[in-house]
Chains A and B, each alone.
Chain A
Amino acid sequence: MTIDAVPDGRSAGRVVDPYRSGALREPTRAPVAVGGDPEAVELYGPVFGTTEVTSLDADLTRRHLAEPHGERITVSGRVLDRAGRPVRGQLVEIWQANASGRYAHQRDQHPAPLDPNFTGTGRCLTDADGGYAFTTIRPGAYPWGNHENAWRPAHIHFSLFGRAFTQRLVTQMYFPGDPLLAYDPILHTVSDAAARARLVAAYDPELSVCDWSLGYRWDIVLDGPSATLPDPEATR
C-alpha cells in the first residue's frame, strides 16, 4: 500500500471536512504522563479465552439460516507489538455494516435494507503467530450527517487487546482503491499520510479462497510501553 493510495484531500482538489462530532468531546488539555511507574496496573491487561470465544465467532456469514448478501471476503493478518513480536492469544473483535451499508443497530435508520442473514459482529483470539482471520462480506458505504453528501468509505471496525491495557486499540480497516478515502473526515483525524495508509488493507489473492471469497490482508501494530517489556511467552 503506497501512501498515494490515501491522498490528503488537498490533492483531491479540496480540504477534507472536519469530524464535527469531536467538537464538544475531544479534551482540550494535554494528557498527563504517568511516567515509568512499574507498578501501574495498565502495564497488565485483561485476558480472554475459551469461555469467551467460540470457533464459529470468526465467520460472520454463518450466523443465520441462509447466506448474507454481498461479496464474501476473508480478512486476515497479524497483530504485532512495536518490536515486531506477535501478540498471541489476545482478543480481536469486529463489527461492520452489511453489504448495503446498514448496521443492525436501531440508531441506523438510513434507507438501505437490513439483511436478515447478517448481523455483522465477530470475535477471535490471535494464534501463536499473532494471526487472526475472519470470513465476512464486504460492507457497503453509507451516508452520514457530517456534511453535505458525506459518505463513509467501506470499513470494518476492529477492537484489539494486547498484553497490557496500554496497548488497547479500537480502529477501522479500510479497503484499497476506495475513492471515498480522500474525503473521509474520520480517516483524516489521522493527520499523517503514512499512518493513514496503515489503516488500508491490501488485496491479497493468496488469501482468497477459490470460487468462494476475496482475500484482504491487514496487519496491526499495537503501541504502548509494554512493547519494551519482555514477551512473557518468549521468556517462559
Chain B
Amino acid sequence: MTAPIPGPAPVPGPAPVPGPASAPGPASVPGSASVPGPASVPGSASVPGPASVPGVASTPGPTPSQTVGPFYGYALPFPGGGEVAPSGDATAITVHGYVYDGAGEPVPDALLEFWQAAPDGSLVPRPGSWRRDPASGAFLARDGLDFTGFGRVPTGADGHWTLRTLPPPPTAPYLSICLFARGLSGHLFTRAYVEGLGGERELKGLAGDRAETLLARREGAGVFRFDVRLQGEGETVFLSFDR
C-alpha cells in the first residue's frame, strides 16, 4: 500500500540561526520572540499541533529545498509577471535592479518572486496573477484590474529585473522577495524597503549597519533601485523566518 513513512524520530529541528540575528530593534520587531503558537518551543517542532490530522501520528521532517537549476524558464515565468499594478494606475511605482554574484558579475538566470500588502494595508490574497486563454489554454497576462500582491520576474541576460507595482503601505513598507537561482541550494528571502514610506527605523532594527542593503532607493519620480548582491562586498541581508 502506501510507502512507509520515514520514522518520526531523528529530525533535528530547524537550526537556530546564528549570527547577527536578534535585532536590538524597535517595537515592530519584538525581541527574539518566536512566532506565538503551541509548537513554538525550539526543538519541539515535530510535536503534532492541536489540529493534526487523525492517522498522521507524526509527520516526517520538512522536504528539503533543491536548486531551481538553469531550466525553469519555460515553466515558471508568466506573461505580465512583473506587472503587479493595475494597468494605468497613476500611483504605481517601478522597482528595478540587478542581481550580482560574489565576483560582481550579473546573474542572468535568477528568478525573483515578490509579495506585498496593498497600499491600504490589506493582505487579502486573491487569485488572478495570470489568466488562461479558454480556447488554447495559453497563458495570458493579468486582467489589469485586480491587485494580487504577487509578482514573478526572471533576470535578463544582463542580470536586470523590473517590477511595476503599487506602493506597499506604511504599516509594512516593503516588498518581500524570494530569490531563486542556479547554484543556490535553496531560495533566499529578503525585503526591499521602499524609500520614503517610513520604514527606515524598522529597517535599522532589523539589519543594523547592513540596513542599506535592504533599501530600495528613490532614483526619480516613482522609480526605485534595489540591487541584490548574493555574496561578498555589500552582501545583501537575507532573512530567516524560522521559529
Residues in chain A within 8 A of chain B (CB atoms): 1, 3, 19, 21-54, 56-57, 80, 82-86, 93-95, 97, 103-105, 107-108, 119-121, 157, 159, 165-166, 168-172, 186-187, 189-190, 192, 194-199, 202, 204, 206, 217, 219-225, 227-231, 234-235
Contacts and interface: CB of A to CB of B under 8 A. Distances in A.
A51 B131 contact: yes
A40 B71 CA distance: 32
B52 to A, nearest CB: 5
A108 B71 contact: yes
Interface residues of B, number: 108
A189 B67 contact: yes
7 contacts: A29-B237, A32-B206, A37-B30, A42-B241, A45-B125, A53-B132, A194-B10
B176 interface: yes
B241 to A, nearest CB: 4
B36 interface: yes
Given A48-B129, A95-B71, A227-B39, A33 B21 contact: yes
B40 interface: yes
A120 B149 CA distance: 28
Contacts, number: 317
B19 A32 contact: yes
Select the residue from B23, B102, B180 with max chain A CB neighbours within 10 A. B102
In terms of DSSP, what is the predominant structure of the interface of chain A?
loop
B102 A24 contact: yes
A165 B72 contact: no
Contact of A44 (B70, B72, B123, B187): B123
A26 B23 contact: no
A37 B29 contact: yes
Closest 10 A/B residue pairs (Cβ): A30-B19, A228-B37, A202-B3, A21-B183, A95-B75, A49-B127, A46-B150, A223-B62, A83-B49, A84-B56
Given A37-B29, A84-B52, A198-B61, A30 B37 contact: no
Given A31-B239, A47-B125, A52-B130, A80 B59 contact: yes
Contact of B172 (A39, A170, A206, A221): A39
Given A39-B172, A229-B37, A84 B231 contact: no
Interface string B1-24: 111111000111010011111110
B51 interface: yes
Contacts of A38: 35-36
B75 A93 contact: yes
Interface in B33-53: 33-40, 45-46, 48-49, 51-53
B188 interface: yes
Contacts of A42: 115, 176, 189, 241
